[in-house]
Amino acid sequence: MAKLAQVNDRDIAAAIRLGCRTMQNVFNADDEQVPFFRSLIEPETLLAHSEYHSESHVPGRHLNALLNAEHVLGISLDEEAIDNHRRATLLSYSGPVALPMNRHEVGGPLANFCPHNLREGFHALYALATYRDDTEARELAERSIADIGKLWSPNGRWDLQAIKDLGIDFLDSRGFIQSEGRMLGPLVKYYHATGYAPALELALVLKEKAIGEFYLPDGAFDQERFDT
């Protein structure tokens, strides 16, 4: 049986540096350097756009990791790559409301909103505000918290008619835990970094819903309840 040679199983910093190299080389030169989402090896090798998760998802995952790595380990980053991820973030938030949106296809208009990407959107804005003192990112994060408050409630969920009236296509992401609940972490981090109280207030609403309806005292896992 074939085995890989020289596998790094001890040096965490070296593994992080390798990951950072990947995250700084995932941009589509034919799409103004917006990062790819889809990555396949078989049955064909390709990088591709996703109508769900390109500009609305990838920048948050990568900026959060890259800028944390720079802060903790002193890793030198390619500022052009950081700027590419930042511009993709701003593209995603340039729709009619401050929600992370995505295009159906390369070159098309922003049209899709999937609540699953709220976590990644806030991770991008948190990282830029914290590690780059980015005023525009902070303003977007605070507008986004306000817009979520207008369009979503933990009981009534999303105001789908209002979203439709804004010309947005709502893409469902299978329940609270896999959608709105995911933004709790970056909201808390944003609050710790900036002291912005509404971020903590929204995080606490998410926490109460999570422990009140999903993570129950008996600790039991129910596939139907979690919608997994």
**pLDDT, tens only, 150-191:** 999 998 799 999 999 999 999 988 889 999 999 999 999 999
Q: Decide: 227 and 175 in contact? Cβ < 8 Å.
A: yes
CA–CA gap between residue 34 and residue 89 (Å, rounded)? 9
**What domains can be seen in the chain, in order of their start residue?**
12-214 (1.50.10.10)
pLDDT at residue 105, rounded to an integer: 94
Q: How confident is the model at residue 76 (pLDDT cuts 50, 70, 90)?
A: very high
pLDDT digits (tens, 9 = 90+) for 57-74: 999 999 999 999 999 999
- Check whether 228 has a pLDDT greater than 70: no
Q: How confident is the model at residue 201 (pLDDT cuts 50, 70, 90)?
A: very high
Give the three-state DSSP class for 32: coil
Q: What is the mean pLDDT of residues 204-215?
A: 93
pLDDT at residue 207, rounded to an integer: 97
CA–CA gap between residue 201 and residue 218 (Å, rounded)? 27
Give helix then strand counts, H and E, for the chain: 9, 9
Beta sheet of 110-113, edge-to-edge order: 101-103, 110-113, 169-170
Which residues 6+ apart lie within 8 Å of 132 measured at CB? 67, 82, 86
Percent of the chain with pLDDT over 70: 99
CA–CA gap between residue 50 and residue 59 (Å, rounded)? 13
Q: What is the mean pLDDT of residues 3-25?
A: 90
pLDDT digits (tens, 9 = 90+) for 106-124: 999 999 999 999 999 999 9
